[in-house]
Amino acid sequence: MAEILSPRPAATVITLRDAPKGYEILMLQRNLNSDFVGGAYVFPGGAVDADDAGASAQRLALGQSDVSASLRLGLERGGLAYYIACLRELFEEAGLLLACDRESVPVHFLDDETIRRMARHRREVNSGTLGFVAMMEREDLRLDLRGLEYVAHWITPVGPPRRFDTRFFVALAPERQVATHDSGETVADKWIRPRDALDARRRGELDMILPTVRNLEDLADFTTSQQVLDYARSLTDIPCVEPRIVTDEGVVSILMPDDEGYDV
């Protein structure tokens, strides 16, 4: 019998901004050569790493402690690392940094010198020559978790070569920062209304995986970013969704927990 892989902790952030025709979300297209959902449009995110759970990173966190974050995620401990991973992945994959100064004032990259310096930091973080936490310390910044809201929990089904235990969050995009894909893990970026993204998927224009689709469906009827944040804050019992891959007479399908045959 093949070994069942344990899912790796991961965090994903659905980044929001308001627009004249309704709020938009940031989506990134994964590199076509990626060995995990290559070519799919996803939200910024990735695996939680050891530095996210380290004492240095957690000392920089503003707005959550490990106790409060773990309580929100239904964990005994270690919840703060998921929040920190969101901010790190958002910076690495999209170039957006949710941060504030020592006076807890959100930072904006306004002058050309700062924009160039942060772009260089991003390249160094992505190449592994500079740690994300070290970059934050060098810039004397803190991780601003005050607007990050937990909204969903999915676990990759048994079968694929990689499995993730992913917590989904929502957050406002930082003002006066420009999102750009990293040209490595991601090859395109797009701000789009959730309903438009779902319509584009139905037309075959955007490839998406099931958790992305279901999260878009859950948020598609809201009209402003604030409504989405309020909805996330109102959630008191967020279930863990773990689809199952089944094969029936050679036909492969995915069952959700409320589908007939899921428990067979």
100 inside domain = yes
Looking at residue 161, its pLDDT comes to 67
251 inside domain = yes
Q: Examine the pLDDT at 106 and tell me if it is beyond 90.
A: yes
Q: Name 167's bridge partners.
A: 11, 153
Alpha carbons within 13 angstroms on the beta-carbon side of residue 151 total 26
75 inside domain = yes
The separation between CA 264 and the C-alpha centre of its own chain, rounded to angstroms, equals: 32
How many structural domains comprise the chain?
1
On whether the CB atoms of residues 193 and 19 are closer than 8 A, the answer is yes
Report yes or no on whether pTM surpasses 0.85.
yes
Give the β-pairing of 240-241 and 149-155: parallel
pLDDT classification of 4: cutoffs 50, 70, 90: low
Rounded to the nearest 10 degrees, what angle do helices 79-94 and 66-73 cross at? Answer: 90
59 inside domain = yes
- Of the listed ranges 91-95, 158-162, 190-194, the one predicted with least confidence: 158-162
260 inside domain = no
- C-alpha 220/C-alpha 197 separation (Å) is 9
Determine whether 89 is exposed, middle or buried from the number of CB atoms within 10 Å of its CB (0-12, 13-18, 19+).
buried
DSSP 261: T
The CATH number of the domain holding residue 91 is 3.90.79.10
Looking at residue 1, its pLDDT comes to 41
238 inside domain = yes
- C-alpha 7/C-alpha 158 separation (Å) is 9
- Of the listed ranges 32-46, 187-201, 223-237, the one predicted with least confidence: 32-46
Average pLDDT score over the chain: 91
The length of the chain, given as a count of residues: 264
- C-alpha 86/C-alpha 260 separation (Å) is 34
264 inside domain = no
Range of the domain at 35: 8-255
2 inside domain = no
On whether the CB atoms of residues 210 and 245 are closer than 8 A, the answer is no
